[in-house]
Structure 1
Amino acid sequence: MVDSFVGEIRMFMGSYAPEYFAICNGNALGVSQYQVLFSLIGTTFGGNGTTNFCVPDMRSRVPVGQGQGTNLTNRVLGATGGAEEVGLTGATMPIHTHTMVATTTTADVQSPKNALLGALTGTDAQFAPNTTAANAQLRPMATSVIDSAGNGVPHSNIMPCQPVNFMICTQGTYPVRA
């Protein structure tokens, strides 16, 4: 026998499950063969509850404590969460602005003091600077003036890690409630 509680999960660096343990890979186990373990975890991690039930699938997962900490979301035993990749959207980016200083005064020199952009005259297709911009009325730039940036590919959300095997005890001491 083993000195572990049935249902206890341990980390193991071997590539196999030691005696009295099963790898936590989401596999289904027979209810009749593992009655004691089934009495503890039931179908929390899957299975039909009649002939089989599943062990937790800890592959590429980080365990977290169940319950709800102060100012945190509730974590229910057996639930999963998180994502390996996250795409930034306008809704997930912090509020920020992009500013540009310009003037509505007509541009009339090629090398303006303070390098401010000036208003176009006639059908000119390029901006010309204005030296009187320091005292000119400034206004916000049209949103169409600055091009979009980035390529929209999600970024990795995986923290530095060292993979190990998680094993659940299938035979051992039955954990009596305190």
Structure 2
Amino acid sequence: MDAFYGEIRAFPFSFCPENWAYCNGNLLSFAQYQAIAAILGTRFGGDGKTTIGLPNLNGLIVAGVGAGPGLTTWAWGTTAGSEQVTIVSSMYPSHTHAVTAMSGASASRTASPNTAAPLSCLSLLNDGTTNQKTFDISPVAQGDLMPMAATSLSPSMGGGQAHENRQPVLPLSWCMCVSDAVWPQHP
């Protein structure tokens, strides 16, 4: 299997073949792996004198370097993203909700049990038991409706917990060819 120094492949088994090493962030001996050191430098760790770092692909996906029209620009060796995200209100797009409420004399109307046929405005009262009752509430005249500030009506929502933010994955063994390989010629 001819491979280039520094070539990364995914393998469908639980080990890296001979001359290959896991892409798990391990440090290799600079003296023993000079070809890899020449290709990678210290981009993925190591001090560049006694050690050289391999990329750490544990739990990550691989993306191409550079950018395309309308795509994010990715630089060599950078990582981004998060497995879990907590959404906060500042992340929501700006929007409004129309809310109307009763004011004046109509605001003090009371409900009475609906003993007749259903009328124009019905409500279902749930008292916490299985005894749900239908109540008739007289319709409110249009003049009795009044816009209200949404800030006074906004209930608290959510629990502040993070949610999983991960695309479907298929874990494989990501390995880099570190010895007994072909030197990659730059065109």
TM bracket, shorter-chain basis: 0.7 to 0.9
Partner of 1:72: 71
Q: TM-score, normalised by structure 1?
A: 0.82
Structure 1 runs of 4+ aligned residues shifted over 6 Å read none
Q: TM-score, normalised by structure 2?
A: 0.79
C-alpha distance in structure 1 between counterparts of 2:77 and 2:150, whole Å: 50
| Alpha-carbon distance between aligned partners in 1 of 2:164 and 2:150, rounded to the nearest angstrom | 33
Partner SS, residue 37 of structure 1 = helix
Q: Which residue of 1 aligns with 2:21?
A: 22
Unaligned 5+ runs, structure 1: 116-128
Q: Which residue of 2 aligns with 1:146?
A: 154
Inter-CA distance 113–142: structure 2 relative to 1 (3 Å threshold): farther
Partner residue, 1:62: 61
Shift of 1:114: 5.1
Gaps of 5+ in 2: 112-118, 123-136
Please report how far the alpha carbon of residue 113 of structure 1 lies from its aligned counterpart in structure 2 after TM superposition: 5.8
Residue 73 of structure 1 deviates from its aligned partner by 2.9
Q: Map residues 82-93 of structure 1 onto 2, 5 A cutoff.
A: 82-93=81-92
**How much does 1:80 deviate?**
0.7
> Please, which of 170, 183, 187 is the counterpart of residue 174 of structure 1?
183
- Deviation of 1:137 after TM superposition, in Å, equals 4.8
Asked if the contact 2:100/2:145 (under 8 Å) is kept, the reply is: no
> Following the alignment from structure 2 to structure 1, what is the Cα–Cα distance between the partners of residues 164 and 145?
45
- Amino acid in structure 2 at the alignment position of 1:95: S
Counterpart of 1:81, as a letter, is A
Residue identity (%): 34
CA distance in 2, matches of 1:73, 1:161: 21
- Please report the RMSD computed on the Cα atoms of aligned residues, expressed in angstroms: 2.3
Matched residue, 1:95: 94
Q: Which residue does the alignment assign to 1:158?
A: 166
